[in-house]
């Protein structure tokens, strides 16, 4: 039930059995109890994907401190988050920037589904809803990066109309491909 979610005052979308909420990260710092629950949720989702963590941050398991540090850094950029809830459990989240201060483009930051819920259509639903949200803001394209070696990620983005526009290194010096999708 949506009314049981701690951030229920935000706008919700419903499609199939997945519920999404837009959650500006800076608002969590005002409610300590919500922040604690939110960090636990993020840690559970992130640590269900140890090979992704190893590829991106160099270790299988992220600590609470790792999550807090990442949230603080990203909140400074104005990052927003979509929480993915299927029936009564959280199954993933998506972070995004409407306008990245480095290139003024919209970016998807982290798009992660809990390991035991992969390949069930949740990512496709979440992406469609995120694209709709971006279009509401008159955004006509979005970018993201995929670390070299993230074969599942590259496949997902290719299947959903993204294409590589450049290559480089992320802020942890990992080789990446930068993908982009223009909306119709």
- Identify whether 5 is part of a domain: no
- Percent of the chain predicted with pLDDT > 90: 56
In a domain, 110, yes or no: yes
156 within some domain: yes
Here the CATH number for the domain that contains residue 129 is 3.40.630.30
Q: What is the residue range of 23's domain?
A: 11-182
In this structure, is residue 20 part of a structural domain? yes
- Asked whether the predicted pLDDT for residue 173 surpasses 80, the reply is yes
Q: How many distinct structural domains can be found in the chain?
A: 1
Q: What's the per-residue H, E or C state across the chain? A: CHHHCCCCCCCEEEECCEEEEEEEHHHHCCCHHHHHHHHHHHHHHHHCCHHHHHHHHCCCCCCHHHHHHHHHHHHCCCCEEEEEEECCEEEEEEEEECCCCCCCCCEEEEEEECHHHCCCCHHHHHHHHHHHHHHHCCCCEEEEEEECCCHHHHHHHHHCCCEEEEEEECCCCCEEEEEEEECC
Query: In this structure, is residue 6 part of a structural domain?
Result: no
Residue 38 pLDDT exceeds 60:
yes
As a whole number, the mean pLDDT across the chain is 82
Q: pTM (2 decimals)?
A: 0.81
In a domain, 4, yes or no: no
pLDDT-derived band at 4 (thresholds 50, 70, 90) equals very low
Confidence of residue 57 (pLDDT cuts 50, 70, 90): very high
pLDDT tens track for 75-113? 888 888 888 888 778 899 999 999 998 899 999 999 999
In a domain, 121, yes or no: yes
* pLDDT score for 107: 97
Q: Is the pLDDT of residue 31 over 70?
A: no
Please check whether residue 81 lies inside any domain of the structure: yes
């Amino acid at each position: 039930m949506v009314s049981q979610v701690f951030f229920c005052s935000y706008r919700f979308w419903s499609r199939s059995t997945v519920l999404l909420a837009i959650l500006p990260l800076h608002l969590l710092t005002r409610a300590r109890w919500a922040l604690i629950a939110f960090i636990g949720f993020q840690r559970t989702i992130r640590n269900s994907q140890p090979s992704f963590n190893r590829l991106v941050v160099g270790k299988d398991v992220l600590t609470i401190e790792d999550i807090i540090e990442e949230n603080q850094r990203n909140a400074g950029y104005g990052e927003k988050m979509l929480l993915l809830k299927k029936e009564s459990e959280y199954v993933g989240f998506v972070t995004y920037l409407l306008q990245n201060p480095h290139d003024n483009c919209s970016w998807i930051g982290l798009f992660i589904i809990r390991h035991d819920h992969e390949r069930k259509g949740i990512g496709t639903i979440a992406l469609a809803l995120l694209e709709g949200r971006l279009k509401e803001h008159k955004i006509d394209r979005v970018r993201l990066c995929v670390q070299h070696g993230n074969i599942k990620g590259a496949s997902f983005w290719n299947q959903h109309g993204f294409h590589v526009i450049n290559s480089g290194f992320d802020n942890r010096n990992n080789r990446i491909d930068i993908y982009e999708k223009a909306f119709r």
